[in-house]
Every structure is written in C-alpha cells, then in structure tokens.
Chains A and B, each alone.
Chain A
C-alpha cells in the first residue's frame, strides 16, 4: 500500500499570503496524484487532477506540481473562503490511498 504523507498538518495563514502544502508518496506514483478541498460538514471537492491539471471551475490561485514521489499544492493569495482541509489522493496503485490532510486556518 502506498502511503501519502502530507505536511504540514496545520497551517494558520493571513489572507493574501501564499500557502504551500506537500504530499510525499512512499513510492513513485508518476502523476497519478490529485488534490481535494474539504470544508466543514461538506464532501471533498476536486481541485487538481494528475498533479498539475486544474479541475473545471477551480480558481486560478490553486495550482499543483510534482511527479514521482513529491507533490505540492499551492494557493496563491489566500482568501477567507479557502479555510478548509486539503487532501491528496493517489490513483496509481490499489488500494488507492489518501494523505492525512492539511488544515488551513485563516488568521
């Protein structure tokens, strides 16, 4: 089973700041890495697919990069509505797995 390790676990950020979340895979997964945003009491929403492709309707301040074992989700110019927990997900091999999540709080 591929383990996805996200860091940090928690981040408190001022609006308009840049946020960087990393996801490290225990073995190479190519670009089969996706990012979701989950707000309290809501289901996860797809932000980025295949490491760097933005999903339809997602604001341009969200971007992804990486391949192999190291991946990054970047939120440029954080907005108050971005307060949420962010998860990475690998679909390279079965069973599929998720990272532990990164909670982003707005200061």
Chain B
C-alpha cells in the first residue's frame, strides 16, 4: 500500500520561499510508470492543481504559478519536493502531494494527508 506524507514548515513569512517534501513509502518513485503531483486547497475553497513530476525529472507546472514554482525529485530518498517562491497571504493553503495512477491522464489514486501552510509575518 503506497503512502505519501507531506512535511515542511507550517508558517512562512511573506516574500520568502515555501518548501515542502513528500515522502513516499510502500513503493519506489523511480520504478515508474507513476507520475507525482502537488495540489493545494485554500481554506474553505476548492482544489488547485500545481504541477507534476516524473522520476526522470520531467515536470509541468500550472501557468498561474509557473514563474514561482519548482518541483524536484530525490530518488535516493524516495521523495519529491515543492518550492514556491515570493509567497504572499494568497498562498496560504493546505498542500497535498499525490500519485497519478499511471500516466498524467490518470487520476490521483493516492494522496497525502495534507499540510497547512500559513503565510504570515
């Protein structure tokens, strides 16, 4: 059974960089054919797709965040990470990592529990 767990600071100051890591257990990130994604949910709102990564490093980002977001992978640690720069209060959200069931045409079949990141001074 694949499990995903987000980790990182719960409080980030405005203009700084939000950094989160998703640790995958119960399966290898580098075994393929799975893609891995980040999604966020503003308080009391719907879901926003951030982007995805493949273990080879292939990525795609939401154009609305593209200038500020980086998703990377560390296969040796079975982790992938999210960095979002120049954050503002509008980036306060619960951030989820998730696995695509195979290719990116697939849905997300496994999700982390989510981690709340608050942007505040």
- A and B are interacting partners: yes
Where the two chains meet, the residues of A that have a C-beta atom closer than 8 Å to any C-beta of B are 1, 32, 34, 36, 42-46, 49-50, 55, 87, 89, 91-92, 94-101
B49 contacts A98, CB within 8 Å? yes
A46 contacts B47, CB within 8 Å? no
| Residue among A34, A36, A43, A46 with the highest chain B CB neighbour number at 10 A | A43
Where the two chains meet, the residues of B that have a C-beta atom closer than 8 Å to any C-beta of A are 39, 46-49, 60-64, 96, 98, 101, 104-109, 111-114
Shortest B25–chain A CB gap in Å is 16
A99 contacts B108, CB within 8 Å? no
**Complex Cα gap A100–B39 (Å):** 14
Shortest A22–chain B CB gap in Å is 16
Q: From B104, which residue of chain A is reached at the shortest CB distance?
A: A91
B111 contacts A44, CB within 8 Å? yes
Shortest B34–chain A CB gap in Å is 14
Q: Do most interface residues of chain A lie in helix, strand or loop, or is the interface mixed?
A: loop
A89 contacts B46, CB within 8 Å? no
| Residue among B39, B48, B108, B113 with the highest chain A CB neighbour number at 10 A | B108
A49 contacts B112, CB within 8 Å? no
Q: Chain A residues near B62: list those with CB within 8 A.
A: 95
The residue that B96 contacts in the complex, of A43, A49, A94, A99, with Cβ under 8 A, is A43
Q: From A99, which residue of chain B is reached at the shortest CB distance?
A: B46
With A43-B114, A44-B47, A49-B101 already in contact, the answer to whether A95 and B63 are too (CB < 8 A) is: yes
Known: A36-B108, A98-B47. 20 other contacts (CB 8 A): A32-B105, A42-B113, A43-B111, A43-B112, A43-B113, A46-B109, A49-B106, A49-B107, A55-B107, A89-B47, A89-B49, A94-B104, A95-B49, A95-B60, A95-B64, A96-B49, A97-B49, A98-B48, A98-B49, A101-B47
**Complex Cα gap A32–B107 (Å):** 8
B60 contacts A89, CB within 8 Å? no
Q: Chain A residues near B96: list those with CB within 8 A.
A: 43-44
**Complex Cα gap A6–B113 (Å):** 25
Q: Chain A residues near B113: list those with CB within 8 A.
A: 42-43
Q: Could you list 8 examples of A-B contacts with CB < 8 Å? A: A36-B107, A44-B111, A46-B108, A87-B46, A87-B47, A95-B49, A95-B61, A96-B104
